[in-house]
Amino acid sequence: MPLVSPSERSITPGTLGLYENQEPLTVERVVVHRRRLQLVDPVETAFGRFESLVRLYPEITFRSQSGEAVRGIGECSPLSAPWYDGECEGTVDVALGFLVSSLTALGEPITGITSFVARLDWIVGHNVAKTGLEGAYWDAVAQLQGVSVSRLWGGTRGRVETGVTVGLQRSPGDLVNKVRAVLDQRQIARLKLKVKPGYDVTYLEALRRSFPDLRLQVDANGSYDLFDQEHLDALKCFDDFQLVMIEQPGQSDDLLDHARLLAHLDTPICLDESIRHATHARQAMECWGEFSTLSKLVINVKPSRVGGYLEAMRIARLCHDQGVSVWCGGMYESALGKAANVHLSARQELNLPGDHAGLTPYFTENIALSPRDQGGWIEVPRGVGWGLGDMQRVFESP
């Protein structure tokens, strides 16, 4: 297959239709707020179990040339240990120290998202920290313009489809009961089920017997060995369950073997942990074009995983241009991060339900009210910035 064309290098803020702030803004101050949020229900996946999460909120105060001060707030959403992408609350703390210094040390003004992101690029990786800072930038510019972030991002939808995720359960019977309770409480666009070897085929059989028409996908979090025949046989059995996709079955840093070893599956394969930036997305498409077909590839864009919202939009556009389905996943964000993902999903390129709703509220206490879902849909906040009302009061600077 020839190289994907146009490549990711041609996808710029201009071609994405993003608002480019032309007024020079000077970074006057950066404060990082820290909150430990207790989960309503502990979460168990293939990579671990956690009961609470630390969320970090970079708040940047910018000063315009006219002397006007404006604050923006973003969210960093790490897991409690480096299970998923090598990051955790400790690494985010360290990275923010370096990144904040790069924003404040020079004193040179910022014009547009390209110049802001360029201030962070000297740090390799640490995408969770970069995402929180970029979110603060977009919030501040939206405050200056008096519009929602989705307007700056070229979002055209007023509401987006959303689904819920069910973690690993002790038995197939427990899973059926859990899903039944979910469906009794609410309408959902789709359900995502966590799986791993030994917690897969019999669970899916029981679920499909009880809910034959449920829009269903599974997420393995890299728990299958694509060179183990028993694991490959189990993944092939997934074709019997009419799944929307199998998310990240193989190891987290792989692009080639997913395409080469799973081309015979009928069910589309979604890459999550494997995609760290737009170049990875393009390389994955070239692999699938060679060994299978792009119609069997799906990509999950999580801003925290790919280093920010601009990069997530670049990946989404590349997917759209190549006919690859794309959607926005989540990292158990608080209300701010969840709202940001909803704003992102308002763009037309994202064409599958995202991870924007929980079985219950994620946290016993939150920083604001999350966007509400109803009937499988969630409204895109319409207020200025993230559109979360009195959230700013929670982070009043000392």
Question: Catalytic amino acids?
Answer: 194, 302
The SS3 call for residue 95 is helix
Alpha carbons 346 and 323: distance in angstroms, whole number: 18
Spatial contact of 291 and 255, defined as CB atoms under 8 Å apart: no
* Contacts made by residues 347-350, CB under 8 angstroms, sequence distance 24+: 347/153, 347/154, 347/155, 347/156, 347/157, 347/313, 347/316, 348/156, 348/157, 348/320, 349/313, 349/316, 349/317, 349/319, 349/320, 350/160, 350/301, 350/316, 350/326
Helices (H), 238-302: 256-261, 278-291
Q: Which residue has the tokens 């791993």?
A: 196
Question: CB atoms < 10 A from the CB of 87, how many?
Answer: 24
Spatial contact of 257 and 287, defined as CB atoms under 8 Å apart: no
CA distances from 320 to 61, 96, 152, 190, 230 (A): 35, 32, 20, 21, 35
Alpha carbons 389 and 383: distance in angstroms, whole number: 7
Task: Name the nearest CA neighbour of 387 among 8, 73, 27, 9.
Answer: 73
Q: Which residue has the tokens 């973690």?
A: 167
Alpha carbons 62 and 72: distance in angstroms, whole number: 8
What residues are paired with 14 via a beta bridge?
Answer: none
Beta-carbon contacts of 40 under 8 Å, excluding residues fewer than 6 positions away, are 358, 360, 361, 362, 363, 364
Task: Name the nearest CA neighbour of 75 among 340, 311, 312.
Answer: 340
